[in-house]
Chain A
Amino acid sequence: MKTYLTSKFLVERDPERCIQCQVCVNQCTFDVHYYDTEDDEVRSREENCVGCHRCVAFCPTQALTFKKNPLDYRENYNWRPDVIEDILKQAETGGMLLTGMGNDKGYRIYWDHLVLNASQVTNPSIDPLREPMELTTYLGRKPDRVELDRESFNLKTELAPQVKLEVPVMFAAMSYGAVSLNVHESLARAATETGTLWNTGEGGLHSKLHQYGNNTIVQVASGRFGVHPEYLDVARVVEIKIGQGAKPGIGGHLPGEKVSAEVSMTRMIPQGTDALSPAPQHDIYSIEDLAQLVYALKEAINYTKPVAVKIAAVHNSAAIASGMVRAGADIIVLDGLRGATGAAPKVIRDNVGIPIEMALASVDSRLRQEGIRNQASIVISGGIRSSGDVAKAIALGADAVYIGTAALVALGCAVCQQCHTGKCAWGICTTDLALTKRVNPDIGARRLANLLRGWSLELKDILGGMGINALESLRGNRLHLRGVGLTDTELEILGVRMAGN
């Protein structure tokens, strides 16, 4: 029996414009374009096209475009084409379906149902072009109260380690092995230039990047890959990864073919073996156990830097977060339903976890109710697309956000969701050395820094419009938000009023 999977796209090559230069043949990593020597013509196998735009971007004569394939199944709201094709693929192979990137299903995006406030008449707005505006953010445990020396006015209270961010936007954990070294270098350099942090993910830190340690968050996850004293020493923050929004409760398998010589060196495992990250950390079966690892790491770094704990946003996030704070986490990281990945089982990515907006609002409220909100900073990730989302997240209670997909888009990613194939035509999510060269760290770092500069300017404009001059005044200030098109229950959980109210 033949399984026929519909081509997603139809490739259109304008014969008037095409000069048979074969740039598309060389650029495509999915074997769409090929050169037919007999006919002296470039042709395409469009069934392979994933819609990544690489060929279109590089075609010197703009001869290429592609369109959605109109070939459809009989209209059916329940048995949609993707549902049918998933079954066909599984009937053929007997395997789990893998995918990349974040959840692409139509779950409600609450950011799009929240609107921000601005000052009109009764209080003045501020012009950020001419008045100082502050986005500075400090991550880390804050004291319950502060005491000043009455004579010198110096702080008497001993502060826990704090990390200063110039922009409340950090680069999310993406491991070396999933993404390339050039991507890591681009992120590290942009973070250093912008005064923010980037995150190694759990694949270790290449020694070439130790120089950016002061802007680096290193991850300690269940695989403990590349975790050794120097790794912990060079970092600014150590993050324990419990879960990830794209695959809550699931471990990771970096397939052996991605474990190249360099990846092997950084992860400290033999070349070509699978890098298996178990689903749980086997030293953490409870909050008490989490406390044990948090303090083991604090001992290992002699209490000189904050320890973060990252979880996927799930049903009981609020209670879990309370436990995390009590376990000694200085920063808690929540990764929501739309958080992305280099590879995850599709059924997990698309069905497990809760929207980050709900998780954030409920965690922030819970920690406030318990009087422990000051003891940890909250960082969220999973689907932050713009400075508007950042502002709304801060107003809902986040101290800072992580961006992953947005950062990769800045490097060329077209969100074609083929990360798990290792064939990324943009050279981002691959360890193939011929492809990784497609990301130039000089250009990558500049583009990422540009993105953060643009978002900073926009954030200042948003703040100025509200009549406030420091991000700190927006943090957790839900009165600056209103809901549009939300139910009473949704408004209650988000802790915001309906627009007009």
Chain B
Amino acid sequence: MAKRAANSVVKIDAGGVLYRELNARLRDVASNGVQRIELQNVYGQRYIGTDLGKPVEIEVFGTPGNGLGAFMDGPRIIVHGNAQDGSGNTMNEGEIIVHGHAGDITGLSARGGKIFVRDDAGYRAGIHMKEYQDKKPVLVIGGTAQDFLGEYMAGGILILLGLNLNAGEYHTANFIGTGMHGGVIYLRGSVEGYQLGKEVDVATLEDKDYQILQKFVGEFASHFGYDAVGILKHKFVKLFPRWLRPYGRLYAY
């Protein structure tokens, strides 16, 4: 099934292979010190990259299943196709680069690492991302996203670029940042007040925000062949939590 290529790229044909078998194979290959793996014919196999624990690079051709890189710690996954739900669930370290769309709860509870989605993301992207000291997850979505973007966000950086919106089209997500109590969302284009959760406020960007955007939009652009300067010329808004403790006043005593 796998051939050790001269440049140490291992190619695996995932066609018809069950996820458990495929992931066992990946564990095996990664523990042999292989740096790069190419997965061909991926048809919905789940949890790719989950238990590898080292910075191996995995190129996925096809459609990986739910939980891509769940609990992941180190690998870099490049998907040539669309990702499904729960990519980067509780991810600790590593990178997921999706040349296509990503499904719901992308980056759920991520505590580190980076996720770049070229096109759109589904519902509740970036939900409950959190950060601690130098561990700061980053989620960049090139297109637009569905409702509850950044819900319950407790840390990290979420960037929504809307590159596939035509002139006169807007982000349509509602309840953006509901329950947010940490981290920051940068949204390219404009957003109406009714689209925001009541725990978020809007601010104009400062220099340090642009520095953050330059870094991560720059990385995004280099992954997908966009012009970062052009993207950054457009207007951005910054969404931030109004309170660190949104629910501090619920209780009698």
Q: Which of A272-309 contact B (CB under 8 A)?
A: 272-274, 276, 278, 282-283, 292, 295-297, 299-302
- Mark interface residues in B227-238 (1 if CB within 8 Å of A CB, else 0): 000000000000
> For residue B253, which residues in chain A have a CB less than 8 angstroms away from its CB?
89, 93, 95, 97-98, 421
- Contact-residue bracket for chain A: 35 or more
Establish whether residues A300 and B50, one from each chain, have CB atoms under 8 Å apart when the complex forms.
yes
Query: From B111, which residue of chain A is reached at the shortest CB distance?
Result: A268
Partner of B154, one of A92, A97, A273, A302: A273
What is the minimal beta-carbon distance from A287 to any residue of chain B, in angstroms?
A: 14
Establish whether residues B251 and A96, one from each chain, have CB atoms under 8 Å apart when the complex forms.
yes
Query: From A272, which residue of chain B is reached at the shortest CB distance?
Result: B244
Q: Which of A252-268 contact B (CB under 8 A)?
A: 253, 255-256, 264-265, 268
> For residue B46, which residues in chain A have a CB less than 8 angstroms away from its CB?
292, 295-296, 299
Q: Does B109 contact A (CB under 8 A)?
A: yes
Establish whether residues A92 and B89, one from each chain, have CB atoms under 8 Å apart when the complex forms.
no
Q: In the A-B complex, list the 5 residue pairs whose CB atoms are closest, starting with the nearest.
A: A95-B252, A224-B109, A268-B132, A300-B71, A93-B252
- Mark interface residues in B51-70 (1 if CB within 8 Å of A CB, else 0): 10100000000000011001
Binds B, one of A38-46, A191-199, A225-233, A439-447: A225-233
Q: Does B223 contact A (CB under 8 A)?
A: no
What is the minimal beta-carbon distance from B41 to any residue of chain A, in angstroms?
A: 20
| Chain B, interface SS category | loop
> For residue A282, which residues in chain B have a CB less than 8 angstroms away from its CB?
105, 108, 124, 127-128, 151-152
Establish whether residues A276 and B252, one from each chain, have CB atoms under 8 Å apart when the complex forms.
no
List 4 extra interface pairs beyond A227-B90, A227-B109, A296-B70, CB under 8 A: A229-B71, A270-B182, A273-B182, A296-B67
What is the minimal beta-carbon distance from B146 to any residue of chain A, in angstroms?
A: 13
Partner of A269, one of B73, B154, B245: B154
Partner of A229, one of B66, B73, B179, B251: B73
Q: What is the number of residues of chain B that contact chain A, defined by CB distance less than 8 Å? A: 47
What is the minimal beta-carbon distance from B26 to any residue of chain A, in angstroms?
A: 10
> For residue B50, which residues in chain A have a CB less than 8 angstroms away from its CB?
296, 299-300
Establish whether residues A278 and B67, one from each chain, have CB atoms under 8 Å apart when the complex forms.
no
What is the minimal beta-carbon distance from B31 to any residue of chain A, in angstroms?
A: 11
> For residue B154, which residues in chain A have a CB less than 8 angstroms away from its CB?
269, 273, 276
Most chain A beta-carbon neighbours within 10 Å: one of B67, B105, B179, B251:
B251
Query: From A94, which residue of chain B is reached at the shortest CB distance?
Result: B252
Q: Does A223 contact B (CB under 8 A)?
A: yes
A269 to B109, CA, bound (A): 12
Interface residues in chain A, defined as those with a beta carbon under 8 Å from any beta carbon in chain B: 89-90, 92-98, 220, 222-224, 227-229, 232, 253, 255-256, 264-265, 268-270, 272-274, 276, 278, 282-283, 292, 295-297, 299-302, 345, 421
> For residue B89, which residues in chain A have a CB less than 8 angstroms away from its CB?
283, 296
> For residue A223, which residues in chain B have a CB less than 8 angstroms away from its CB?
109, 128
Q: How many A-B residue pairs have CB under 8 A?
A: 134
Partner of A268, one of B51, B85, B130, B181: B130
A264 to B135, CA, bound (A): 13
Interface residues in chain B, defined as those with a beta carbon under 8 Å from any beta carbon in chain A: 19-20, 23, 27, 46-47, 50-51, 53, 66-67, 70-71, 73, 85-86, 89-90, 92, 105, 108-109, 111, 124, 127-128, 130-132, 135, 151-152, 154-155, 179, 181-182, 244-253
21 CB contacts below 8 A, A to B, read A94-B252, A98-B252, A220-B90, A224-B111, A229-B53, A229-B92, A232-B71, A256-B244, A268-B135, A269-B132, A269-B182, A270-B182, A273-B154, A276-B179, A276-B181, A276-B246, A292-B66, A296-B70, A297-B71, A300-B70, A302-B27
Establish whether residues A270 and B132, one from each chain, have CB atoms under 8 Å apart when the complex forms.
yes
What is the minimal beta-carbon distance from A299 to any residue of chain B, in angstroms?
A: 4
Establish whether residues B251 and A97, one from each chain, have CB atoms under 8 Å apart when the complex forms.
yes
What is the minimal beta-carbon distance from A32 to any residue of chain B, in angstroms?
A: 17
The verdict on A95 contacting B90 (CB below 8 Å), with A276-B179, A299-B23, A300-B51 known, is no
Establish whether residues B246 and A274, one from each chain, have CB atoms under 8 Å apart when the complex forms.
yes
> For residue B181, which residues in chain A have a CB less than 8 angstroms away from its CB?
273-274, 276
> For residue A232, which residues in chain B have a CB less than 8 angstroms away from its CB?
71
The verdict on A283 contacting B248 (CB below 8 Å), with A276-B179, A299-B51, A301-B51 known, is no
Partner of A97, one of B131, B249, B252: B252
A97 to B53, CA, bound (A): 45
> For residue B252, which residues in chain A have a CB less than 8 angstroms away from its CB?
89-90, 92-98
Establish whether residues A299 and B249, one from each chain, have CB atoms under 8 Å apart when the complex forms.
no
A389 to B56, CA, bound (A): 52
> For residue A220, which residues in chain B have a CB less than 8 angstroms away from its CB?
90
> For residue A96, which residues in chain B have a CB less than 8 angstroms away from its CB?
250-252
A255 to B86, CA, bound (A): 28
> For residue A97, which residues in chain B have a CB less than 8 angstroms away from its CB?
251-253
> For residue B151, which residues in chain A have a CB less than 8 angstroms away from its CB?
282
Establish whether residues B128 and A278, one from each chain, have CB atoms under 8 Å apart when the complex forms.
yes
> For residue A93, which residues in chain B have a CB less than 8 angstroms away from its CB?
251-253
> For residue B128, which residues in chain A have a CB less than 8 angstroms away from its CB?
222-224, 278, 282
